[in-house]
Amino acid sequence: MSGHSKWSTIKRQKGSADVKRGLVFTKLSLAITLAVKQSGGIVDPESNFKLRLAVEAAKAANMPKENIQRAIDRAISKSAGIVDEVQYEGFGPEGISVIVEGATDNKLRTTSEVKKVFDKLGGNMAQPGSVAYLFNQVGRIVVNKDNKNIDDIFLLAADNGAEDVVDKGDEVIIYTNINQLAKFRQALIADKLKITKEDLEFRPINSIKLTQPEQKQRVNVFLEKLEELEDVHKVYSNADLDN
């Protein structure tokens, strides 16, 4: 029976992983479709900034090329439905501030699902602008150090007007003005640095430090439940969880 139980456990774990991967691919497909639609049908990633970011995120998640192309084709298809970008603001447990970004073909459904998580887990949704002023939207580029040390990368970042540089061991995170992101990318490539991730994000101006395990648990559960929603792409908060 132990062999059977182990096999059952493996099947459950694999099934769970497949579901999560499918959810990630669904989110990425919507992001790609939205990027094409918002540009008026521009399907060249080099000419469509948001599409390039969405495609790079899909590749980083090992999304098959045919899935990426299918999402692009769907965006320019005459039979394609409406896909809207949505953003919600609110307050979560422990008084944290939250911004939720997503894409949806049904705003009423998505709003209801997001509100349900807020209401159920100790938060409350707020009016647009109630939380956004507590964040700055920035460009974020993650690079591998490879043969360079942090001082070399720091100097390069400073010369190109970076707003912040964070050392993460084998990688370095560089924050820059969103209008300078493309220029910054070219400078890093010219300096032979490997970019592993590039995106736009809301970065909190000040963070709320959470030290008690139960506080971290409540906040983590809240943020994870929002991220699990199919129409939600990114969740930002000013919670400092030391992870």
Average pLDDT of the chain, as a whole number: 86
55 and 118 both lie in a single domain: no
Report the first-to-last Cα separation within the chain, whole angstroms: 39
pTM for this predicted structure: 0.79
104 and 224 both lie in a single domain: yes
Contact call for residues 71 and 29 (beta carbons, < 8 A):
yes
Q: Which domain range does residue 181 map to? A: 133-204
Beta carbons within 8 Å of 228's beta carbon, 6+ residues apart? 23
**Which helix (H) or strand (E) covers residue 158, if one does?**
helix 150-159
- Where is average pLDDT lowest: 22-36, 122-136, 208-222? 22-36
Q: Which of 33, 53, 76 is the last residue of a domain?
A: 76
CATH number of the CATH domain containing 29: 1.10.10.200
Q: Which of 76, 95, 116 is the last residue of a domain?
A: 76
Which segments of the chain are extended strands (E)? 84-91, 97-104, 124-126, 135-144, 164-168, 171-176, 195-204, 208-209, 232-237, 239-240
171 and 145 both lie in a single domain: yes
103 and 220 both lie in a single domain: yes
Q: What's the structural domain count of the chain?
A: 3
Predicted confidence (pLDDT) per residue in 8-33, tens digit: 444 444 444 454 666 788 888 888 88
Question: Burial level of 239, CB count in 10 A (0-12/13-18/19+)?
Answer: buried
Residue 82 or 96, more confident: 96
230 and 196 both lie in a single domain: no
Contact call for residues 142 and 169 (beta carbons, < 8 A):
no
54 and 93 both lie in a single domain: no
6 and 72 both lie in a single domain: yes
56 and 96 both lie in a single domain: no
Predicted confidence (pLDDT) per residue in 141-192, tens digit: 998 888 788 888 888 888 888 899 999 888 999 999 988 888 888 888 888 8
8 and 69 both lie in a single domain: yes
CATH number of the CATH domain containing 158: 3.30.70.980
The three-class DSSP label of residue 89 is strand
Confidence band (pLDDT; 50, 70, 90) for 1?
very low
Predicted confidence (pLDDT) per residue in 155-169, tens digit: 888 888 889 999 988
68 and 172 both lie in a single domain: no
66 and 10 both lie in a single domain: yes
184 and 211 both lie in a single domain: no
Give the residue from 69, 142, 71 showing the smallest Cα distance to 103.
71
pLDDT at residue 5 greater than cutoff 60: no
